[in-house]
Chains A and B, each alone.
Chain A
């Protein structure tokens, strides 16, 4: 329980820091902290695989690209200039959203009865110790669930991601696509070498 409270405080504080930071990179660092705390929260719920995936996918791939884009975009302009303070503008709508969310949570918790937990009980396996094989949340358990019970949603998600990838290629693609024939590659090599030689004169 102590872990839950500590992690919650870190989660909320880093989330507020993420949206209130005036430099984009500070937002990234705050979000990194947020993801780490979220992964630790998953661990306390014995969702070991989910915790590791949270780090690998969100912190290791997506957030790194944020840093990459910030580093690329900020070259040339004043890189460390602080942006506007968005907190005063965001505070009123945020309070309304939080109140609404609490309302939904209260309603959801109130409508849960012992009977409804029992009905969904088949899906809830006994919570085992983190790090043991073949219990709830372990890699084997997660994989089995993903490829049997949740196979269709899993494949549909893969298809949607595929569509997104093709969309990106279409949107960002060249008008005249570069065809990598060996001849063309040799030509580019030669041009680069000549450019380097010219630069050396």
Chain B
């Protein structure tokens, strides 16, 4: 019998490998997709179909000089990328990927407060960006990090409220419980408003286009990571893509039935469905980036506070009333 800690260690190592590989190829696929949407081939020099591009990028980032500006606060400047990366990866400790009758839920840990744990870790993720931008000791990173902090706090409210509708319907906060509750109907149907709010806020939370005010090239050079180079920049970069993957997983688990097969196609294993649904979300992200222009900052804030938050609250109240009425 393998001891408990060894099981956790093996699962974690395996999952880390899967997530990092997914990050590397998500990056390649994003550049390919952006290329096709802009009628150009995308990266195609390194390896067949550009398949070795992630390795080339990694080698380049590792070999680049790691600069620390003279004006930076050395300790916080070095610490910030690790906070970002650590929080990005630790969410995967509770995300389930599938379930089978003999092995139970496929996850490292499956706590009862799973979705709350995800929210908690995601809320710490802000520190990487806000501390990193502040500690760089120059004005563009500072502006970027102040923007990021305000934006993420604002959109986190609407995001949490969009979760609560699902929690009321499922009657549990554990992620596998929520998926099991969607065996008949995916929650995207009764919680369509909540789903739309979640998808919008998720894009804003991960600072991706069209909400990428944090690193708006046209005004802030590169925002909070302007001063970072080499591997430390790479850590921020990995964290951004891993966060994208995380919110795609959460959307799949909460609104699109997790590993439940659609149309009764249960002969395909659940984990395949899960991966397919997550992949659709990732593609949607890239599509958004290629299609939509960046919002103006005051509009972004007004949209978050005056549109998303009231609609999310209303959705929550209506859901609660209907569930209470039906008993």
On A, residues with C-beta under 8 Å from B are: 23, 25-26, 29, 32, 48-49, 52-53, 55-56, 59-61, 64-65, 67-68, 70-72, 74-75, 79-80, 130-133, 138-140
Known: A48-B113, A49-B116. A72 touches B146 (CB 8 A): yes
| B73 engages A52 (CB within 8 Å) | no
Q: Least Cβ distance of B289 to chain A in Å? A: 25
Q: Shortest CB–CB separation between residue B282 and chain A, in angstroms?
A: 25
Asked if A49 and B113 sit within 8 Å, CB to CB, the answer is yes
B146 and A56 contacting across the interface, CB-CB below 8 Å: no
- A132 with B116, Cβ < 8 A, contacts A29-B79, A80-B137 known: no
- Given A56-B123, A61-B123, A80-B137, the answer on whether A68 and B146 have CB atoms closer than 8 Å is yes
Chain A contacts for B112, CB-based, 8 A: 48, 131-133, 138-140
Is B111 part of the binding interface, using a Cβ–Cβ cutoff of 8 Å? yes
Which one of A23, A29, A60, A71 lies within 8 Å of B145 (CB-CB)?
A71
B residues contacting A by CB (< 8 A) are 71, 73, 75-76, 79, 109-113, 116-117, 119-124, 126-127, 130-131, 133-135, 137, 139, 142, 145-146, 149-150, 152-153, 156, 172-174
Inter-chain CA distance A21–B112, complex, in Å, is 37
Pick the residue among A23, A32, A55, A61 that contacts B73 (CB under 8 A). Answer: A23
Are A64 and B126 closer than 8 Å at their CB atoms? Answer: yes
The answer to whether A56 touches B120 (Cβ under 8 A) is yes
The residue of chain A having its C-beta at the shortest distance from the C-beta of B80 within the complex is A29
Of the residues B71, B139, B172, contact of A133 by C-beta under 8 Å: B172
> Inside 8 A of A74's CB, which chain B residues have their CB?
134
Majority secondary structure of chain B interface residues (helix, strand, loop or mixed)? helix
How far does the alpha carbon of A132 sit from the alpha carbon of B127 in the complex, in Å? 30
Interface contact A61-B153, CB-CB below 8 Å: yes
- Residues of chain B within 8 A (CB-CB) of A32 are 124, 127
Question: 5 A–B contact pairs at CB < 8 A?
Answer: A26-B75, A71-B134, A71-B146, A131-B110, A138-B113
In the complex, the answer to whether B73 meets A25 with C-beta atoms within 8 Å is yes
Asked whether A64 and B153 contact (CB < 8 A) given A52-B120, A55-B120, A133-B174, the answer is: yes
Q: Are B130 and A68 in contact (CB under 8 A)?
A: yes
Q: Tell whether, in the assembled complex, residue B120 and residue A80 are in contact, meaning their CB atoms are under 8 Å apart.
A: no
Counting chain B CB atoms within 10 Å of each CB, the highest count among A23, A48, A59, A64 belongs to A64
Q: Decide if B131 touches A67 in the complex (CB within 8 Å).
A: yes
Given the complex, which residues of A lie within 8 Å of B153, measured CB to CB?
61, 64-65, 68
Q: Let me know if B120 and A64 touch, CB within 8 A.
A: no
CB distance from B215 to the nearest CB of A (A): 16
B111 in contact with A130 (CB, 8 Å): yes
Task: Please state if A67 and B123 are interface contacts (CB–CB under 8 Å).
Answer: no
**Which 3 pairs, one residue from A and one from B, show the smallest C-beta to C-beta distance?**
A60-B123, A55-B120, A131-B111
- For the complex with contacts A25-B135, A55-B123, 5 further pairs of A-B residues with Cβ separation under 8 Å are A29-B76, A55-B124, A56-B120, A131-B110, A133-B174
The CA of A53 and the CA of B160, in the complex, are separated in Å by 13
Alpha-carbon gap, A139 to B111, bound state (A):
11
Whether A131 and B109, one on each chain, are in contact in the complex, defined by CB atoms closer than 8 angstroms, is yes
Question: When chains A and B are docked, how far (Å) is the Cα of A61 from the Cα of B174?
Answer: 23
Whole-angstrom CA separation of A175 from B126 in the bound complex: 34
Given A25-B131, A48-B113, A64-B130 in contact, is the A56-B149 Cβ separation under 8 Å? no
Q: How far is the CA of A70 from the CA of B135 in the complex (A)?
A: 11
What residues on A are CB-neighbors of B116 within 8 Å?
49, 52-53, 56, 139
Distance in angstroms from A57 CB to nearest chain B CB is: 9
Residue of A nearest to B135 (CB): A25
Q: Are B120 and A60 in contact (CB under 8 A)?
A: yes
- Inter-chain contacts of B130 with A (CB < 8 A): 64, 67-68, 71
Contact for B113 among A64, A68, A139, CB less than 8 A: A139
What is the bound-complex CA distance between A35 and B183, given in angstroms?
38
Instruction: List B contacts of A23 (CB < 8 A).
Output: 73
Residues in A whose Cβ lies below 8 Å from that of B172: 133
B127 touches A64 (CB 8 A): yes
The answer for the CA separation of A91 and B127 in the assembled complex, in Å, is 31
Contacts of B119 in A (CB 8 A): 52, 56, 60
